[in-house]
Structure 1
Amino acid sequence: MSKITDSQSYQKYVSFVKQNYQPLHTYLYNFDTKNLSKSFYEVIEKNTNPLDAVTEIYPQIYSWEIFTPEFCNQFIAEVRHFDKWCRKNSIEKRLPNSMNNYGVVLGDFGLYDCLNQLMIKYIKPITSIVYPEIGGATLDYHHSFTVEYAVEKDVSLDFHVDASDVTVNICLGNEFEGGDLYFGGIRCAFCQETSPKKAEEIYVRHQPGHAILHRGKHRHSAQDIKSGERLNMILWCMSSENQKTQLIECPDWCGSK
């Protein structure tokens, strides 16, 4: 199959996948609350304060256990199955973004709607409270993908901001050492190149089954992985309403002030 170089070749690729790919675990493609951790599910379903389900580990950075170990393992198996199918059929799959060389775009093989339900029903109740000024209450679409880190693959990721309003970074596994997330301050488009302040710097360790929630403009990097392999599911969540906002000056939420 030809390389994905434009919208036409992309549509051809997606159509071929839709018609020919046979999932390993079909149940993954329909959102099921049994895949959520018990503690997270109970808080959200009881309509209590959704912030009771999360821990603010640093100002504007939140973490909580989101998925069961069984779901993480089966999701990894599905990603591996798709990757193997692409190789078998000589398909050059779409890379997740411009920085990662290993991973898949989850919407390309049918997982967009499932993850959209996760965002709308279980992520947005949290972001509507903690990120109201950047569209946290109006998230309505996403770009979701996996990334992989290992000594023989991508080892780290440079300092950057995400192409999102809100990012959900979920560690699926496996066993690994190193690879912590480093955060270095929230910056608007005018101030992204400014140096981090000492008080803004924090390192966050990944835990399988746990989500790390942060603003897309919270600058971060992935530190070197030392051993093993780490596979993460990333949701770049966007608000159509917020994306229309054109900054003409440094906003109040920018940490450069």
Structure 2
Amino acid sequence: MSQPATTVPAALPPFTAISGDYGRGLIVICDHASNAIPADLQGLGLSAADLQRHIAWDIGAARVSALLAARFKLPAILAGVSRLVIDCNRDPGDPASIPSEVDRTPIPGNAHLTVWDRAERMSRWFVPYHNAIEAMMTAALAAARDPVVLSVHSMAPELGGELRTWPVALSSHEDKRLATPMLVALRKRVGFLVGDNQPYALDPAEDYTVPVHAMRRGLRHLQVEFRQDLIASDPGAAKWAALFGDALAEVLGL
């Protein structure tokens, strides 16, 4: 008697690449684009509802990234797994890169991990994602003298009892070559509620992607946070991608 066929879950890609024109001098990255959990990790012990929350991903950020890439014909790399599997914007040596609790929510599948468990996640998801960004950087540097790196994130409208009143915010460190004119351009369109390092600054001791791929090369960069309730729907994402894109076009002459 023949045995029933066994369904093997499709492999989850560590990133999604969007092709574009490197000569435009701007590339897009999205570290927390996905809430996907590899099948073998069994949802990390979380409910389907929890995996839709901000703890699992930057809600709306992937859609905004894709819209900006399409508008300006830009190359982009979007992370393929949830930040709960491994946070692609944290150094793997940081315990927070694979959190056991987020916003008072325990992550059962991340409890009691061995060093080998952590190393496997790094090799499966973190390393291929950052290798893809490095390949993109190499192509960008070959095509443009001073390419700009745009990192797209989103923030929960409330966290720990703190309301986030900023519809959009820029995170920067010492290099404000683009953050300063972008703040001006955004405030012309949104008003003075645009956040300047609120609620997050760009911190090389905590952030990983922009410091490693842009700052160490001395490249201009932008890290933006959109408020999640404003970009969770397709119309909302389109509105804010258009507004941000208009400001970006003004500042960069796109």
TM-score, normalised by the number of residues in structure 1: 0.30
As a proportion of its length, which structure holds more helix?
A: 2
As a proportion of its length, which structure holds more strand?
A: 1
TM-score, normalised by the number of residues in structure 2: 0.31
